[in-house]
Chain A
Amino acid sequence: MLPVGLGRSYGDVCLLDGGTLLNSAGLSRLIAFNSETGLLRCEAGTTLSEILDFAVPRGWFLPTTPGTKYVTIGGAIANDVHGKNHHVAGTFGCHTPRFELVRSDGTHLECSATNNPSWYSATIGGLGLTGLITWADIQLRPIVSRKIDYEGIKFVGIDEFLAISRESANVEYTVAWIDCVAQGRNFARGIFMRGSHSTRPKSLKPSSPTRLSVPVELPAGLLNRYTVGAFNALYFRKQIRSRTSSVIDYEPFFYPLDSVQHWNKIYGHKGLLQFQCVLPDTDGSGGITHLLRTIAASGLASFLAVIKVFGDRKSPGMLSFPRPGITLALDFPVSEKSFGLLNRLGALTLDYGGSMYPAKDALMTPEQFQAFYPDWRQFARFIDPAFTSAFWQRVTANV
């Protein structure tokens, strides 16, 4: 069996053929909240969206958040998710001081850095394999406004991207959209997006965002190098000045895709493949340019390509993905050619001493996984005997 939250992981870490999925949707009760310290205890099926609805009006925010709020706390811990503030805040596990793990033999383990520390470490980033997380403590951070002071900065080339990243080391949230189609003088152009919680006190009341929806699956070939290339050119030029700044609500800043329900249908019936790697690269010479050239030369178009510099705050998680370096996240419509490209990118990631993210993976080989996560054998001792996943079966198929 395998616990599953909202099933938003892009690969097979939340799947199990022929097994039983433990749906955590009902585990959505809050248990306690300390309005002085911002420590929230809630059941593991509670979603980030529900926590924001609860916390923002009270002047608190998530310690870190991935690009969607439709994930559960259990999933956020199990994948040790990260966000735009990784360079200052680390992963979700860095802000989860305590949780309860229930094993299939009925034992309840309360886990923290001092209580059952090895179970704590194995379960953060443990892909749901160590048992069922039933509740967790989340350390929220205070805010005085829903607003984000936002800046968008255009760049062309990895050197410029890295220069802006260094200049932004003290800005809380940083991420960049990158054009993976353009070649020649436009190669590796993009928009660096950075922001901080506004410090001017403002209303914390929820706004009612407009919600769009993709009603049907669009034709499979819609997203190709020409349409995405044209979109990228427009998106890059939409911001006319090289730098813009504005004050925006946190929703469009953190969750632009959440405002479009069923956005995945734009990839057509076959869907999409996600890929995210991190390379131990600090100056652009360590492989990131090689990867980007390989993608641009492939003729395949990644609609949503995101690049960010990870920080060096270490996660307590044994199998945690983020590590210092540059991370690149991509998606491609499912096709034979995409599989070929992602296999090449996986091989390059291994050559350059990087790692790949299980939550966004469909193609990692056992050899790659075991090289990316050298502690995997130690981790395997903590797997619940009744638990497994399609991902785990795939990346340990050689043993």
Chain B
Amino acid sequence: MSRTLPARILVLGATSAIAMAVCRELISPDSRFFLVARRADRLDAVRNDLLTRGACSVITRAINLDDVDAHAHVLSEAAAELGSIDLALLAYGILGDQEQAQSDFAASYAILHTNFISAASLITWLANYFENAGKGTLAVISSVAGDRGRKSNYVYGTSKGALNIFLDGVRNRIDRSGANVLTIRPGFVSTPMTAHLRQGPLFASPAKIAKGIVGAISAKKDVVYLPGFWRPIMFFIRALPEFLFKKLNL
């Protein structure tokens, strides 16, 4: 591909398996990273990895992004350190425990807060930043689970579905400025988040998903399903009439 890759990159949730794989795909002698995640030791490991592989510079900040009050500060700091942001990737989230969430709303609240509320706060700041800049890409990892509520994981699904709608709105608002908003909807990915699940043939590796994400960023796509076979599957799932859907064990 001859399309130029983003060089100044902000990653929120940078120690996630998919984020790490995306960063590796983006490494070039010009690439400068600003990485944010909760754990300082893991951030150090990711920084060493990217520097060893040839990234130009890597700055890290260890904060908990659940703390929305800290967002504006860390985002301004990232913009200042990088000079400008070509790509902001939101790559954190929690799967939560659906059964626990059904009986204990605090557990539901935690999922909704991390996956949607805190993400919405970051996106609000970043949407304004990119709209002002008139260029750049805001890429957010959502999930195919956000396409329709299912009994097996509707709390997680709701958090991602809300995120999808929020991003649709932001895209509708800032696309005309020249900035790009990408909603990434992966299916099952073999990551620490899904390590407790029984892995079947539908599981993809983080490296494969990362290649798809970088391709979608370069192609300035709006919504990408990864791997691509999820698009027809989710089309079918969304198209099922509710009177039928509600009877299914999904």
Contacts and interface: CB of A to CB of B under 8 A. Distances in A.
Contact of B53 (A25, A26, A43, A54): A54
A233 B49 CA distance: 49
A33 B49 CA distance: 10
A30 B49 contact: yes
B195 interface: yes
Contacts of B195: 23
A32 B52 contact: yes
Nearest to B17: A26
Interface in B72-125: none
B190 interface: yes
A30 B46 CA distance: 8
A31 interface: yes
A244 B195 CA distance: 50
B45 interface: yes
A23 B192 CA distance: 10
A389 B167 CA distance: 48
A211 B52 CA distance: 29
Interface in A7-47: 23, 25-26, 29-33, 43
Q: Most B CB atoms within 10 A — which of A26, A29, A33, A54?
A: A29
Contact of A29 (B45, B190, B191, B192): B45
A43 B46 CA distance: 11
B52 A33 contact: yes
Interface in B1-48: 17, 20, 45-46, 48
Given A23-B195, A54-B53, A29 B17 contact: no
A31 B49 contact: yes
B48 A31 contact: yes
Nearest to B49: A29
A31 B192 CA distance: 21
Interface residues of B, number: 12
Nearest to B47: A29
A218 B195 CA distance: 31
A30 B48 contact: yes
B190 A30 contact: no
A42 B192 CA distance: 20
A43 B48 CA distance: 11
Nearest to B205: A25
Contacts of A32: 48, 52
B164 to A, nearest CB: 27
A43 to B, nearest CB: 8
Nearest to A33: B52
Given A23-B195, A26-B17, A31 B190 contact: no
A54 B45 CA distance: 17
Contacts of A33: 52
Contacts of B192: 26
Interface string B179-195: 00000000000111001
A3 to B, nearest CB: 14
B68 to A, nearest CB: 28
A289 B233 CA distance: 58
A29 B53 CA distance: 9
Nearest to A57: B54
Contacts of B45: 29, 31, 43
A60 to B, nearest CB: 13
B10 to A, nearest CB: 20
Interface of B: 17, 20, 45-46, 48-49, 52-53, 190-192, 195
Interface of A: 23, 25-26, 29-33, 43, 54
| CB-CB nearest 9 A-B residue pairs | A29-B49, A30-B52, A30-B49, A33-B52, A29-B45, A31-B48, A32-B52, A30-B53, A26-B17
11 contacts: A23-B195, A26-B191, A26-B192, A29-B20, A29-B45, A29-B49, A30-B52, A31-B48, A32-B48, A32-B52, A54-B53
